[in-house]
Amino acid sequence: MIRITHNRLPWLIALVLAYVFVLTSTNAAVEGKSKLTSASGAVTDKLKPSHHQKEKRLRQMVDRFVAEGLDYKIRIKYEKTTFSFLGRHELEGYDHTVHVSGEAKDFLRACEGSFFIEGNFLRYLQDPEYSFYAAVLLLAWETLDAGVWPNDVPLEPLEKKDKELWNRERDRHIPDLVDSFHLDDPKLYRVQVLFESTSVKYHPAIFPNRLYYNGRLIIDDPVFSGVKPFIDAAREFNASTNTAKLMALSLTQEHVCGWLYYLLSCSETIRLDITKDFCAWCRKSEPKENPFLSALMMGLFIVDGYVFDDEKGAYNLNDRGKLLLDYIVEFSILENATRLKIIRDGGNQSLVEDLMKKHSTTETWQELLKNPVEPKFVKYKLSRPGIP
């Protein structure tokens, strides 16, 4: 038996209290870490919250399909059509209908009237782990949208619900899906994100009414724009990627839209150079008298100038994003203040502060950030078109 004397009692009490404190603190820290880990994946990209939530939902959904499988119904029907035009002709093919239910069906319905499918499904279709389920979802989406997906050959692996067979044959089937759903051309999705990420205040200066209000794509191929100076510049660029004639153009709405076509549609190998030249063109186009250019730069940055880390809530800028951010910081407008703060607080404080010092805009931004204004944004209403 341990004998406790009066002199030792206070020390023992203190020791017990210290032990309890350490134990409680450790448990709280572990619990806090557990909550942080479980909640960290739920961090939302504040620059494009609705698009990010949909992208994340797709990722979580296909991950679950890989682990648990996906229940679906499929029907493939052989069709043969005869018609007469300068002789008798026959067309034959296979009509595919795929039906899913529950969350998958709800998700696909939420994608209607947008270009989300075109902008996000290619990487899943090309990944052996996800490819089978991406193909099922594509056909299910087309069934909801158009009632049937016609193809020259039947997708038998989907009919047999055989993932291994699909992965053995997918190189034969994927090109048909890519062509049919325009998966190799994310321009449409980028246009949508750009429109919804640019303050509506500046839409009249950026997007032509003749395209927007007529229900056509708001970014048109400049070769078909009807604007001769830009047609000549576009043809030279298409032939050689030389931007000399583009750089010589004056600042007009039609010319801005021509630049946007290339910024959003060119291959990744030359998009950085196009972005660099576009920033230079805007700098020589009286940017302080044309604040819509700064708003447009922020929209382009949000399209794909960074990769968002939804574990840490960090904005990891790519080289294109750094070029656009440099312009944004140099030519300050009130409508960009809130989102510049989001970028700065998302792991880019040193970069933003260095750019402010470089362009001597620190005090200007400090004033704008005192009373930031949340710009008004609107949804891109154009439904999935027979592309004009």
Q: Which residues of 253-290 are buried (b: 16+ CB within 10 A; e: fewer)?
A: ebbbbbbbbbbbbbeeeebeebbebbbebbeebebeeb
- Token pair 């979802």 is found at 137
Distances from the Cα of 65 to the Cαs of 60, 75, 102, in angstroms? 9, 21, 13
Closest CA to 183 of 149, 138, 228, 220: 138
| Residue 298: CB atoms within 10 Å | 26
Closest CA to 197 of 80, 305, 308, 357: 305
Interatomic CA distance for residues 81 and 91, integer angstroms: 5
Could you list the pLDDT tens digit for every one of the 388 residues in the chain? Answer: 333 333 334 444 444 444 434 333 333 333 333 222 233 356 899 999 999 999 999 999 999 999 999 999 999 999 987 766 667 777 789 999 999 999 999 999 998 777 899 999 999 999 999 999 999 999 999 999 889 999 999 999 999 999 999 999 999 999 999 999 999 889 889 999 999 999 999 998 998 776 555 556 677 777 776 778 888 999 999 999 999 999 999 999 889 988 999 999 998 889 999 999 999 999 999 999 999 999 999 999 999 999 999 899 999 999 999 999 999 999 999 999 999 999 999 999 999 999 999 999 999 999 999 988 889 998 887 544 443 3
Q: Residue ranges of the domains in the chain?
A: 49-181, 187-370
- pLDDT at site 3: 35
Interatomic CA distance for residues 234 and 261, integer angstroms: 10
- pLDDT at site 196: 93
- pTM recorded for the entire structure: 0.82
Residue 80: what residue type? K
CA 14 to chain centre: 57
Structure tokens at 68: 């648990």
Cα torsion 338, 284, 249, 289: sign: positive
- Token pair 């100076």 is found at 229
Structure tokens at 319: 């080289």
Interatomic CA distance for residues 283 and 330, integer angstroms: 10
